[in-house]
Amino acid sequence: MNDKTNKHRIVIVGGGAGGLELATRLGRKLGRRGRADITLVDASRTHIWKPLLHEVAAGTFDSYENQLEYLAQGAKNGFHFRLGRMEGLDREKKEIQVAPTYSSDGEEIIPQRTFGYDTLVIAVGSVSNDFGIPGVKQHCLFLDTKTQAEQFQTRLLESYIHAHAQNRPLELSQLDVVIAGGGATGIELAAQLHKVSRLFRAYGLETITPNAIQISIVEAAERILPGLPERLSQATHAELNRLGIDVITGQRVTEVTDQGVRTDSDQFIPAAIRVWAAGIKAPDFLQDIAGLETNRGNQLVVRPTLQTTRDDAIFALGDCAACPWPEKDSLVPPRAQAAHQQASHLYRVLQQRLNGEPLSEYHYRDYGSLVSLGRYSTVGNLMGNLTGSVMVEGFIARMVYLSLYKLHQLALFGFYRTTMLSISHLFRASVHPEIKLH
């Protein structure tokens, strides 16, 4: 339903870290100058950096104050935003199908539409993978989207208020939380929840003692953070133990009920709140979509140029792309730094495509991994050409961790606005509570 123009039409599906950065930069470079028509399609009206969703869930990061409006970002940076969820692809017609959008009352507010493209970039990210385990969908909370994180925060706050006001002792595991998955998301969420359990008491819910709350992490591998260096895993495990968080490794979740989680050793961990953070996959609608090559995780298989293997006009980036990493004989890991790098690469490549030039190949640069345990600690390893892998902890690691978000903001807002946002955040922090209480 796009108007026919002579401009090259670039459609980007997915407004996550990579997709939004790419749309913003292309809009400034090509959209404003009339060289191309840039359209971003996303199912949400607003954007928030996904690595911060665990803080939104815990209530230590206010999504309403820190979210970005897609329409406003597009108007300021030379691209169009269209609300909707991609559900199909016609490669012959070069069109994507976007599902109808409904109001909170179930009324259709935007009908099903199609958008034509000359170049298509799919950047729809990832969702949790429940691996078909019984009870996960029915009894677990997920942190794939801002909405899910906000629902988690609401449930957490209400459970504490209810426990504080009840005129009877706490029931067994009434406030306990079990997190399935010992990756970065599960660990960072556990640390934030530990902090919140102390802050609620400081803000007047004094009848709930921290000892009444047990936070547990269940990981199928023999250690947490199995994809990262062992010394990083050990340092993180030690810090979690110091905080009193129960870390259970080498046990696979086999069932989730409304009372807790059961493992393959028949151990049952009771908990009122069950969180699933044990694996990811690309959205199901991508599986073999329009004959494109996908893997078992629904990721689109791409070449080093980030073009899909069966269609030169379709690119993919971020978690939904199975991108080769020849140096490790594996795929590029699904991390925010990879999406940021790929967005920067495609910014150059799509200009080469418009100019009829050969396309550059993408090479992933691993700058290391960092895990934030909130105010308690940040640990990680940084990669360097001269020093190899350097273990970092404490203040330096925390500053590097925060810089990843600042790089994202710089790509979206530029230096001046990012500086102003940082200053305003400091002022807000001085007058607002440390956790969201509504």
Take residue 194 and report the two structure tokens written for it: 């530990």
172 and 104 housed in the same domain: no
Q: Is 358 exposed, middle or buried (0-12, 13-18, 19+ CB in 10 A)?
A: exposed
97 and 144 housed in the same domain: no
161 and 270 housed in the same domain: yes
* pLDDT > 60? residue 394: no
Q: Tell me what the mean pLDDT of segment 65-76 comes to.
A: 92
320 and 377 housed in the same domain: no
One-letter amino acid at 390 equals: V
Phi first, then psi, for residue 164 (nearest 5°) are -65, -35
CA distance 421 to 175: 36
121 and 142 housed in the same domain: no
* pLDDT > 50? residue 331: yes
**Where does the pLDDT of residue 386 fall: very low under 50, low under 70, confident under 90, or very high at 90 and above?**
very low
- The last residue of one of the domains, among 257, 279, 301, is 279
Q: Which pLDDT score, from 0 to 100, does residue 367 have? A: 72
Structural domain containing residue 252: 136-279
Name residue 300's beta-bridge partners.
294, 321
Q: Write the CATH number for 255.
A: 3.50.50.60
36 and 65 housed in the same domain: yes
CA atoms 252, 255, 261, 262: torsion sign: negative
* pLDDT > 90? residue 130: yes
pLDDT tens digit string along 349-374? 999 999 999 999 999 988 766 666 66
142 and 275 housed in the same domain: yes
Is there a contact between 93 and 290 (Cβ–Cβ < 8 Å)? no
Tally of structural domains, the chain: 3
- The last residue of one of the domains, among 365, 392, 418, is 365
322 within domain boundaries: yes
Mean pLDDT of the chain: 87
| pTM for this predicted structure | 0.88
338 and 380 housed in the same domain: no
Buried residues in 188-200 as b, exposed as e (16+ CB within 10 A): bbbbbbbbbbebb
